[in-house]
Structure 1
Amino acid sequence: MASVSASHLILFIASMVIAASVAGVFTDTVGRLGQAISDQGLDVSENVRTDVEIISDAGSDAVYDDATGNITLHVKNTGSETLPPRADRIDLFVNGVFETDAEATLIGGGDQWRPGDVVRLDIDHPLDSGDHRVKLIVNADEEVFKFRT
C-alpha cells in the first residue's frame, strides 16, 4: 500500500512540475502577444492620422522645368499627425520608378510638418514630353499626381 502512495506522490509531483512549466510558457507567450498587439495598434493609429494631399496644379508650367529636369510638387499635410519634412521619409515613384534624388523644403521654415503646413518636393528626374505620374507614400497614405510635359 505504501508503494502505491509513493508512486502516486511521484506522479503528482511530476504533473505539478509539468503544469508549472507549461503555465510559465503560456504566460510569457501571452505577454509577448499583448505587446505585439499594442505596438501594432500604435502603428495603425499613426497611419490613420496621416493624410497628405498634392496641391500642385497639374496644368501649370511650374510643375516641371525642362531646363533642369526638375519636378516640383507642393504637398499639404491634411491629417492630424505631425510629420518630419524629410524626403527620406516620403516614398516617391516617378512613372513607376522609385526615386531617391529628392529634396523636401517646409514652406515657411521649421522642422515639423504640422497639419495644414505645405512641403515643396523637388525631384530631380528628367522627363520626355508626354503624360507622367508621380506617386508618393507617407505612412501608408498614397497620393498620385498626373501631369503632362
Structure 2
Amino acid sequence: MASVSASHLIIFIASILVAASVAGTITSTVGQLSGAVDDLGVDASQEVRTEVEIISDSGAGVYDVDGNGNITLYVKNTGSQRLPADKVGIDVLVDGRYWTDVSMTVVDSDSWRPGTVVRMEIAAPDLASGDHRVQVTINGDREVFEFNT
C-alpha cells in the first residue's frame, strides 16, 4: 500500500513540474505577443498622424534649378505631428531607384512642424531628359511627384 502512495506522489510531483513548465512558456509567449502588439500600435499611430504633400509645381522647373544637378522639391507637413527634417526615416525613389543622396532644409521655421515646408534636394547629376517620377515615403505616407526635364 505504501508503494502505491509513493508512486502516486512521484506522478503528482512530475505533473506539477510539467504544468509549471507549460505555464512559464505560455506566460513568456503572451508577454512577447503583448510587446509586439504595443509596437504595432505605436507604428500605426505614427502612420495616422503623418501626412505630407509635395507642393512643388510640376510645370515649373524642378531639376537643375541652381545648376548643381539636383531635383528640388518642396514638401509640406500637413499631418498632426512634428517630423524630423533629415533623411532618417524618409525613403526617396527616383524613377524606381532608391536614392540616398538627399538633403532637407526647413524653409519657414526652425523645425518641420505641422504646416511648415522643407526644401528637399535630391542629387541626380546625370538625369536624362524626359519624364521622371519621384516617390517620397515618410512613416508609411507615400507621395508621388512627376516632372519632365
Could you state the TM-score of these two structures normalised by the residue count of structure 2?
0.92
Distance 1:109 1:115 in 2: 10
The corresponding residue for 2:117 is 118
Q: How does 1:1-149 map to 2 (within 5 A)?
A: 1-61=1-61, 63-65=62-64, 67-110=67-110, 112-126=111-125, 127-149=127-149
Q: Summarize the Cα distance change of 1:27–1:89 in structure 2 as closer, same or farther, 3 Å threshold.
A: closer
* Residues in 1 aligned to 2:24 and 2:129: alpha-carbon distance in whole angstroms: 66
User: Secondary structure of 1:83's partner?
Assistant: coil
CA deviations over 1:3-35 (Å, ceiling 9, x no partner): 111111111111111111111111111111111
User: Is the contact made by 2:109 and 2:116 (CA closer than 8 Å) also made in structure 1?
Assistant: no
Runs of 4 or more consecutive aligned structure 1 residues displaced over 6 Å after TM superposition: none
- Aligned pair count? 147
Is contact 2:103-2:122 (8 Å) kept? yes
Contact 1:88 1:100 in 2 (8 A): no
Measured against aligned partners, the alpha-carbon deviations of 1:77-128 in whole angstroms (never above 9, x if no partner) come to 1111211000243211111121111210001241x31111111001110322
What are the ranges of 5 or more consecutive residues in structure 1 without an aligned counterpart? none
Instruction: Look up the equivalent residue of 1:87 and give its one-letter code.
Output: K
The amino acid across from 1:147 in the alignment is F
Q: Which runs of 5+ in 2 are unaligned?
A: none
CA RMSD of superposed structures (Å)? 1.4
- Secondary structure in structure 2 of the residue aligned to 1:65: coil
Question: TM-score normalised to the size of structure 1?
Answer: 0.92
SS at match of 1:58: coil
